[in-house]
Structures are given as C-alpha cells and as structure tokens.
Amino acid sequence: MAEKHDIKPEQSIELLKELHILTRDGKLNQDSRRKLKQVNHLFQFIEPLLKQIQQDHPDITLVDHGAGKSYLGFILYDLFFKASNSDSRIIGIETRDELVNKSSALAQRLGFRGMSFLNLSVAEATKSDALPANADIVTALHACDTATDDAIRFALEKEARFIVLVPCCQAEVASVLRKNKGRALASSSLTEIWRHPLHTREFGSMVTNVLRCLQLEAHGYQVNVTELVGWEHSMKNELIIAERKDLPRRRPAERLNELLHSLGLEEMSGRFFTSL
C-alpha cells in the first residue's frame, strides 16, 4: 500500500487510482510518488490563495491552462472544492481532444460537477465565449514555451486576482539570443554569459522568467518566485505566484524595456507587453 505520508487523509483513493498515481492495489511507484509529491506541494501554495478569494466571495472560478491529464485540477477539486457548497468551478484548457474527453468522463464519474474541460489552445481561450469574462485564479503547470506567456495574457485579460505558473521548455528567447549572438558579442563583454550554446539555453530560460515577472509587475501584480519542490523531483522547478495589487507600474515597465534592449531582444516586446 502507499505510505501514509504520501497521501493526505482526505484524498480520494479512487481518484488517485483513476489518475494512475496509485495502482489498482493501492501502491505507488517512484515516478508516481514524485508526481503526487509535486502536485500536493503545489496545492499547499494554492490553498491559501483560494481561501483569500473565499473571504470576498464564495464562488471561485479557476482556469487551468495546458491541463493535460488534469492532475492539478482534480487534486484541487478533491482537496478543496469538493467539500464546499458553492458554485465554484475549475475549467481545464487542453488542446488534445482525447484528454479533454477522458477528463470530462472522469469528472462525471466522480461526481465533480464543478469541473469542465474545453478543447482549446491557451491563445484561443483568451477570445473564446465559452469562458467567463473574469477568472479569480489562473494556473499553468508546465505549459510549454510560449503557452505560459499566452496564459499570462489570458490572466491579464480576465483580470485574475492570482496567477500561478510553473514554466516549462522556454526556447523562444534563447533562439533570439542565438540569432543575434554575433552582433552582440562585438558590443558587450556581458554577452559572454550566453556565448556557449548550453549557456544560451540556460540563460534564455532564466531571462524568459525574469521578463515574465517584470511584465506582471508592470501590470500592477506583486510577484513571488520560489522553488516548487526539490530538484531531485523535477528540473522544471520554478514557481511564480502573482497577486493583483494595483501596484505602481512605470518602473517595472521601464526595466523590462531596458532589459529587452540590453540583450538585443527588442523584437520580443510584443510578447512581453506592458499594456493591454
């Protein structure tokens, strides 16, 4: 059987089996234990945000982008939404139709009436009439490359109070750094930071998230960056949590534009926009 410390007392064993986190006889393998630890740890970050929203209104709308098999959505619903008597809902956005159908069927089978799933890209979801005009919290767990930026745009359009991101596979900034490397090397010794291909990839990934944080701050959000879990559990380990506070916006917008200019990334200003 799964060890007691791996599973919360209130968690549905049936759900964990349906998500293939537990085997049919209730066991965890090493890979499943990592997945469960990661999602449960993320729940510990998100639960206080949900409670803050509940203090203002009982019905919460959470949109989960790049939902995949909807591990996060199902765990959140099982541990938090299931016990409430509200009309709260979790909406999963996913491009793979078979995963949307499986998740919809599982939610119906488990009686999770507040869960729904849409076969849309993150970018399509921003303009879709199938989604509400506003969202309380927007999550994107391992939404690859530019899908994380699309999730940010969606959250800003929907005036989300909270945004929770675990970025993944950021390649676009690195590709622009690589393209402009020859010109940049002649202009500044700082470009030595990304001269080698491995460093270009790693530096590009870090810069991408720095730009995202500045972008969120330029829209009045307070941003916190931390580790999701230990590196032994996941290499995609950066967790960005933003709360809309209507903070001063000019300085982070200026710093974002300065950084784009300094690194030769001016062509990306449309992706890291500072006003809607």
pTM for this model (two decimals):
0.91
DSSP for 80-117 reads IITT--S--EEEEEES-HHHHHHHHHHHHHHT-TTEEE
Digit-by-digit pLDDT tens for the chain (276 residues) are 445 456 777 888 889 888 888 887 777 777 777 777 778 888 999 999 999 999 999 999 999 999 988 989 999 999 999 988 789 999 999 999 999 999 999 999 999 999 999 999 988 999 999 999 999 999 998 777 678 899 999 999 999 999 999 987 778 888 998 888 777 666 778 888 888 989 998 999 899 999 999 999 999 999 999 988 654 444 467 899 999 999 999 999 999 999 998 888 999 998 898 886
Q: Which domains does the chain have, with CATH numbers?
A: 4-169 (3.40.50.150), 170-219+246-276 (no CATH)
- Name, in order, each residue with C-beta under 8 angstroms of 220's C-beta and a sequence gap of 6 or more: 244, 245, 246, 247, 248, 249
